[in-house]
Structure 1
Amino acid sequence: MSSAISNVTLYAFVALGGACGASLRFYISQLVLNWLGKGFPFATLMVNIIGSFVMGSLYQLIENEVLDINIHRTLLGIGFLGAFTTFSTFSLDSLLLLQQGEVLKAAINILLNVSLCIGAAALGMFMVTALAK
């Protein structure tokens, strides 16, 4: 941790990023629910894919030393993406589908969230690397 950035400042970055991430998550979730309905947890899937893409991009930008690790990891990675992504909601959505006897929907939800989010993180890393060349 850089001595130039105080712990109080880092906590403020987490809080600011978290407030923005949670607000954007709610906004996107409402849009997706209005667009696609409640028959499948598309809203959770969408924010998880977007968050994974941003996390992959952020990681690569920090690795390439384009962004400062202390500021951007704290503000965006921990604060914003920590509040924006929804793994706990994904878990609950999947469990509820299983409890409702919707085994196929639960399996599809799990498969899509895991595969598409890993793919989105990889795509974010790849795009930053390709653009840096």
Structure 2
Amino acid sequence: MKVFFVMLGGFLGSISRYSVGEWIHIDNGFPLGTLSINLIGCFILGWFFTIAGRSRKVRAEDSLLIGTGFIGSFTTFSTFSVETMQLFQHGLFGQAFLYILASTIVGILLAFLGYRIALSSKRGAEEK
């Protein structure tokens, strides 16, 4: 049954990734769609796993559906890697380094921001 939740989340995540990528598609060589998708995923995963880890209301199946399935298929490290390689191959070294730095540094900062927001929303809910 666990595989079903991962599969369902993966199905929804991959469709969402495709849709967002089409919506943000830019033809200037810079992979803004993939960057946006991965950064959104970093924030959501940081927030969600903090909530899930601190709440008895989030079932293991929900973590599999949302965290492993949806976000796992929504974000894409392999596409990031290939697009970075392509930028280097086309001599777009500045864009490649910007893409690497934005993906890693901003991604980690957004995961941390999601974590902090989840902590503060949990504290606020406990105080009420």
| Same fold, TM-score > 0.5, yes or no | yes
- 2:13 aligned with 1:26: no
- 2:7 aligned with 1:15: yes
| 1:58 matched residue in structure 2 | 48
Which of 49, 68, 87 is residue 58 of structure 2 equivalent to? 68
Q: In the alignment, is the contact (CA less than 8 A) between 1:61 and 1:67 conserved in 2?
A: no
| 1:6 matched residue in structure 2 | none
Alpha-carbon deviation of 1:38? Answer: 4.1
TM-score normalised per structure 1: 0.87
Cα distance in 2, alignment partners of residues 37 and 61 from structure 1:
37
| 1:90 matched residue in structure 2 | 80
Alpha-carbon deviation of 1:69? Answer: 5.1
Find the residue that maps to 1:16 and give its secondary structure: helix
Q: In the alignment, is the contact (CA less than 8 A) between 2:29 and 2:87 conserved in 1?
A: no
| 2:68 matched residue in structure 1 | 78
Q: Please, what is the CA RMSD of the aligned residues?
A: 1.2
Q: After TM superposition, where is structure 1 displaced by more than 4 Å over at least 4 residues in a row?
A: none
Alpha-carbon deviation of 1:87? Answer: 0.8
Q: In the alignment, is the contact (CA less than 8 A) between 1:21 and 1:84 conserved in 2?
A: yes
| Aligned residue-pair number | 123
Q: Which consecutive residues of structure 2, in runs of 5 or more, have no partner in the other structure? A: 124-128
Cα distance in 1, alignment partners of residues 59 and 38 from structure 2:
22
Q: Which consecutive residues of structure 1, in runs of 5 or more, have no partner in the other structure? A: 1-8
